Amino acid sequence: MHVQISPFCARMLFSTLAIGCLLTMRPGFADTLIRTGGTGSAVRAISDLGAAFKHTRPGTDIVVLQGLGSGGAVKALAAHALDLGLTARPLKPAERSQPLQEVEVARSPLVFAGVKTDPGLTLAKVADIYAGKQQAWPDGSTLRLILRPEGDSETAVLRAVSPVMDHAIASALARPGMHVALADDEAVTALQSVPGAFGLTTLAMLIPESRPIHALALDGVTPSVATLSNGRYRLAKPLYLVVRADAPEPVRALVSFIQSPRGAKILASHGYQPISTAGRY
């Protein structure tokens, strides 16, 4: 018998199996093993941060697990299957009942992207695209909207822009046959492979990639770390580090390293605006 599994269930199954693997993982030749993972947009940055941290801590091994997402990272932390969680949102009220601590360390511009370009893209036009009123690129070719799930952090940021945008996104999510990318890497793949694709991603997902995807200027402002820092570009996806309250010294040392000037430089190279968080942990 062939049983078809939905993409959402498949992702949840993968996360569950991954957490199980982490529970049985052993340091091997390393004196200290730090397990991290979470929101897909931060995976490449944390890999480079971990590699730089290892140079300061010989004998430390850092394993980066992909495919967890923000919610999966929090669950893995609570199950002691993860040491450092990467989330694109603060802890939810129910999650705060657990002995977890969070700190926001960076933000990446939340960008509209596609293989085509639109020099005249505005928030008003974006609302029309989500509402189904605008279905073509400036060259007349068909525009295909790539959505993120209703509960996703990208969707929440965009819905908060205005009541008009909120209504437009609700309309898009309710339309049948829409392409919904469940994870950050799925969204980037869809933006590259679906003809005429248009949708949300982060600068952090695009900077390390050698893919033909354009981060589109919005209301005449190019998304970048600089324009986000000076307030000209307004849309951003946060990056939080989450640890257990009893996190051991090596884990807290990694958090401090990420917050250090060297860590900030690495974050900026991956499309993140570092946030000064000294003394918050």
Q: Encode pLDDT of 203-245 as tens digits.
A: 999 986 666 898 999 999 999 999 999 999 999 999 999 999 9
Give the three-class secondary structure for 171. Answer: helix
Say what the pLDDT of residue 208 is. 62
- Asked if residue 280 has pLDDT above 50, the reply is no
Please say whether the beta carbons of 43 and 188 come within 8 A. no
Q: What is the mean pLDDT of the chain?
A: 87
Domain boundaries, the chain: 7-107+238-274, 108-229
Say what the pLDDT of residue 42 is. 93
Say what the pLDDT of residue 30 is. 52
The encoded tokens of residue 95 equal 């999650």
- Asked if residue 281 has pLDDT above 50, the reply is no
pLDDT digits (tens, 9 = 90+) for 79-138: 999 999 999 999 999 998 889 999 999 999 999 999 999 999 999 999 999 999 999 999
CATH annotation of 7-107+238-274: 3.40.190.10
Say what the pLDDT of residue 6 is. 40
Say what the pLDDT of residue 243 is. 96
Percent of the chain with pLDDT over 70: 86
Please say whether the beta carbons of 239 and 272 come within 8 A. yes
- What's the CA gap between 65 and 100, in Å, rounded? 19
- Asked if residue 257 has pLDDT above 90, the reply is yes
Say whether domain 108-229 belongs to CATH 3.40.190.10. yes
Say what the pLDDT of residue 58 is. 86
Q: State the average pLDDT over residues 167-194.
A: 95
Say what the pLDDT of residue 45 is. 94
Q: State the average pLDDT over residues 260-271.
A: 95
Tell me the residue type at 136. Answer: A
Instruction: Using pLDDT thresholds of 50, 70 and 90, give the confidence band for residue 12.
Output: very low
- Rg (alpha carbons) of the chain, rounded to whole number: 19
Of 60-64, 226-230, 251-255, 277-281, minimum mean pLDDT range: 277-281
Say what the pLDDT of residue 93 is. 92
Please say whether the beta carbons of 115 and 197 come within 8 A. yes
- What's the CA gap between 189 and 167, in Å, rounded? 27
Q: Which one-letter DSSP state was computed for residue 151? A: T
- What's the CA gap between 219 and 232, in Å, rounded? 10
Say what the pLDDT of residue 210 is. 64
Name residues whose C-beta falls within 8 Å of residue 198's C-beta, 6 or more positions apart in sequence.
112, 113, 114, 116, 129, 137, 143, 144, 145, 146, 191
pTM recorded for the entire structure: 0.84
Q: State the average pLDDT over residues 240-255.
A: 95
- Asked if residue 10 has pLDDT above 50, the reply is no
Bridge partners of 180, per DSSP, are 147
108-229 matches 7-107+238-274 in CATH topology = yes
Say what the pLDDT of residue 3 is. 35
Please say whether the beta carbons of 195 and 162 come within 8 A. no
- Asked if residue 54 has pLDDT above 70, the reply is yes
